[in-house]
Amino acid sequence: MPSLVARIYPIQRMPRTFGIFDYDVPEGMSVTRGDVVMIPFRKTMICGVIAEIIQATKSSYARKPIRTKIENLHLSQNEIAFFEFLAHDLAQSVPSVLDAALPTPPKRISSRGLTLPSEPLLIPKSEAPIVMEIAKRLATTSQAFVMSPDLRRSASIIAAYAGSQTKRVITVIAPTIKDATLLASHLHHLSPLLLTGEETNASRYRLWSAWRAQTSGMLIGTRLALLHTHPDLSTIFLVRSGHEQHKQSHRNPRYDARQITLQFAKQSHISLYFLDTIPLVDDLEIFSRADVIDLFEKPETRIISLTRSPHQPHPLLAYQTSELMEEMLRQGKQILCVYNKKGMSRQLLCQDCGYDFLCDKCLRPCVPYEQTLHCPVCLSTRPIPMSCPSCKGVRLQPKGFGNRALVQVLKSLFPAATVTRVDSDEPSPAMNASLLLVTDYYLEHFFDAFHPPALGCVIKLDTDLLLTSPSFRATEQAMRSLEDWRGIARACKATFIAQTRHSELMEEWLSHPYRVHQKERSFRLMFGHPPFERWMKVEYKTAKDQNREQALLELQKSLRCLDPAPHIIKRKKGVQFYLEVCCPLSSVPSVLSIFSKLPDAYIIDTNPLF
């Protein structure tokens, strides 16, 4: 006689080739797709989510019964479909995705309330009409990209929108814990919940339960908050949408918040708004020009050429820049100089044979410090050798400039000024110095757009630095960095100076940014770069190099049998081989189908950062 059988996803990390298990539904128990239940699994009890209910006859093996149904805990059809899509798109098992996304009921649920710091959200009076106009436009469209100069303006836009849409369920995703915490504290009047990802399972479960119990409200968090779905979710804000921290790269599931927000919004008809200083080239395929809202005024900006400036006191300091710095220092104003290279120089070379000192572990160029070589990737260090390992020559020449060397240059040029270096190697810098030499570390860890310092000027010493990075995104990254620091200058009411050897490109960007984006888009289309092809990355985890290479070669053969076949590049990172798989969009389903059948020794990133 047929009986009811529940096909269940265990909430537990499992191999990608595993996923669903059959359990008997006890007589008298009423369950449906999306219910969360307790099930016996091996020698313990765990939670599971019901995928479907079927009728089945008795099988040759004894199916275990569901133990209990967890009341008031149910995932909607859209939520289940979202997790199933996400698992397929990431080449992971659905149980592993659910394990990363959902907290499980703890043995003891605390009744302690969730408390957040509270700070006022203030903006200049002159900007209030701009913020209200943006909120009004967002209320009339289901998707938009808002060019917001900093986190403070983004918070004011979200507050204005939420104030006019009081019945909506809103999720706000920030790239870092610092950003999420600042947003939550300054949007305290909206009673948001905050999820940073650092909570214990019990705290996450208490927060998740409180979130799902709300019929309207706001959840603010890092990318993990996107996986804490809500059955009535209506709006998603992705703050600083171009930030790399929206991507989880170092452990499974390796998901990108930008990609899955698009899918979730499309699948569930959710309003989606990106907020950042500028859109990425990929964003042009999502948002039309009419969807891009750019209403905030730009700060005073000066482009200074490093190739045309006479009598330069230093290769990284134009004559006009040094004059302006002297004037600012005479007026007692603080100066922020931006240079994103640590150490004494960029690299160390042998003058006799050209030997480049690379890291022994990851083969990346090492950065020279005073007495040591540092790898910026794996963070390993070693002493600077007395002679070249290749030709035994002693003419070892540092090339380029690091921020430690620039500190000494600035001290010699401006002897009356106090100079402080701010980077990850300097845990407690003197922030009251008259001249700060900073890396991106300052932007991520010290700068607070809600309480900006009083600066005279912000100087980007080498705007071209990212233009030379080995990535098809080099121009995009350089422009986004320029706009990030220009946003800081705006928040601090400071003059912004960008030094460059490519003044024509920078001037074109400032005058016609959309034109530069369109050029980049045409290059991407011509050479088969994202978003017109999808790039994936595959490694193989084993102790033996020979087995690793052989496994990847076998995978390469199977992928090349597809029609259309992806373009595959075999690369080496240190002693490890990996494959870059460049897929035409029409071949992506076939590639994901092959990936879903691979053992977990294959480490697959279906949306890597290149």
Q: Give the model confidence (pLDDT) of 575-591 as tens digits.
A: 678 899 999 999 999 99
The whole-number pLDDT of residue 133 equals: 97
159 with 236, same domain? yes
Radius of gyration from C-alpha coordinates of the chain: 27
**Residue 241 three-state SS:** coil
Q: Rounded distance, CA 335 to CA 457, Å?
A: 5
On the 0-12 / 13-18 / 19+ scale of CB atoms within 10 A, 557 is: exposed
479 with 589, same domain? no
On whether residue 359 sits in a domain, the answer given is no
Instruction: List Cβ neighbours of 62 (8 Å cut-off, separation of 6 or more).
Output: none
Task: Give residue 346's pLDDT band: very low, low, confident or very high (50, 70, 90).
Answer: low
On whether residue 368 sits in a domain, the answer given is no
185: Cα separation from own chain's centroid: 22
DSSP bridge partners of 602: 540
For every residue of 197-227, DSSP letters joined together read: S-S-HHHHHHHHHHHHH-SSEEEEESGGGGG
Whose tokens are 């993990």? That residue is: 224
Q: Give the CB-side neighbour count of residue 145, counting CA atoms within 13 A.
A: 23
Instruction: List Cβ neighbours of 225 (8 Å cut-off, separation of 6 or more).
Output: 171, 172, 173, 180, 195, 219
Q: For the segment 127-153, what is each residue's pLDDT rounded down to a tens digit?
A: 999 999 999 999 999 999 999 999 999
> Domain containing 593 — which CATH number?
3.30.70.600
The whole-number pLDDT of residue 51 equals: 95
The whole-number pLDDT of residue 555 equals: 94
450 with 541, same domain? no
Q: Which among 452, 431, 449, 446 is positioned nearest to 185, based on CA atoms?
A: 449
Which tokens go with 315? 């290769």
96 with 168, same domain? no
Which tokens go with 188? 């305290």
Whose tokens are 């052989």? That residue is: 550
Q: Give the CB-side neighbour count of residue 386, counting CA atoms within 13 A.
A: 0
Total structural domains within the chain: 4
594 or 403: which leads in pLDDT: 594
Return the percentage of the chain with pLDDT > 90, whole number.
Answer: 62
- Report which DSSP code applies to 168: -
Q: Rounded distance, CA 478 to CA 463, Å?
A: 7
**Residue 349 three-state SS:** strand
419 with 311, same domain? yes
264 with 153, same domain? yes
On whether residue 118 sits in a domain, the answer given is no
The whole-number pLDDT of residue 114 equals: 57
> Domain containing 33 — which CATH number?
3.40.1440.60
Q: For the segment 436-493, what is each residue's pLDDT rounded down to a tens digit?
A: 999 999 999 999 999 999 999 999 999 988 887 778 888 899 999 999 999 999 999 9
Which tokens go with 126? 């002159």
On whether residue 512 sits in a domain, the answer given is yes
Whose tokens are 């219910």? That residue is: 35
461 with 503, same domain? yes
328 with 448, same domain? yes
Say yes or no to pLDDT of 240 above 90.
Answer: yes
On the 0-12 / 13-18 / 19+ scale of CB atoms within 10 A, 72 is: exposed
Highest mean pLDDT among 1-5, 113-117, 262-266: 262-266
Q: For the segment 24-55, what is each residue's pLDDT rounded down to a tens digit?
A: 999 889 999 999 999 999 889 999 999 999 98
> Domain containing 235 — which CATH number?
3.40.50.300
Pairing of strands 3-10, 44-56: antiparallel
405 with 308, same domain? yes
Among 522, 553, 588, the domain boundary falls at 522
Q: For the segment 255-303, what is each residue's pLDDT rounded down to a tens digit?
A: 999 988 998 888 888 999 999 999 999 998 999 999 999 999 988 899 9
On whether residue 352 sits in a domain, the answer given is no
Among 273, 293, 313, the domain boundary falls at 293
Q: Rounded distance, CA 73 to CA 310, Å?
A: 70
Is the peptide bond prior to 564 cis by the omega test (within 30 degrees of 0)?
yes
On whether residue 360 sits in a domain, the answer given is no
pTM as predicted: 0.89
Among 293, 314, 335, the domain boundary falls at 293
The whole-number pLDDT of residue 182 equals: 96
Which tokens go with 387? 């002679």
Residue 553 belongs to domain spanning: 533-605
Q: 82 and 269 in contact (C-beta within 8 Å)?
A: no
On whether residue 568 sits in a domain, the answer given is yes
The whole-number pLDDT of residue 345 equals: 61
Residue range 341-347: average pLDDT?
69
Q: For the segment 512-534, what is each residue's pLDDT rounded down to a tens digit?
A: 988 998 999 999 999 989 999 99
Is the peptide bond prior to 103 cis by the omega test (within 30 degrees of 0)?
no
DSSP bridge partners of 389: none
The whole-number pLDDT of residue 577 equals: 82
Helix ranges (H only) for 55-93 are 77-89
78 with 33, same domain? yes
Which tokens go with 538? 């595959």
Q: Which of 36-50, 227-241, 331-345, 353-367 comes out lowest in average pLDDT?
A: 353-367
530: Cα separation from own chain's centroid: 17
Q: Rounded distance, CA 514 to CA 495, Å?
A: 24
DSSP E strands: which ranges in 384-462?
Answer: 396-399, 419-422, 435-438, 455-460
207 with 142, same domain? yes
288 with 141, same domain? yes
On whether residue 192 sits in a domain, the answer given is yes
Q: Rounded distance, CA 216 to CA 212, Å?
A: 10
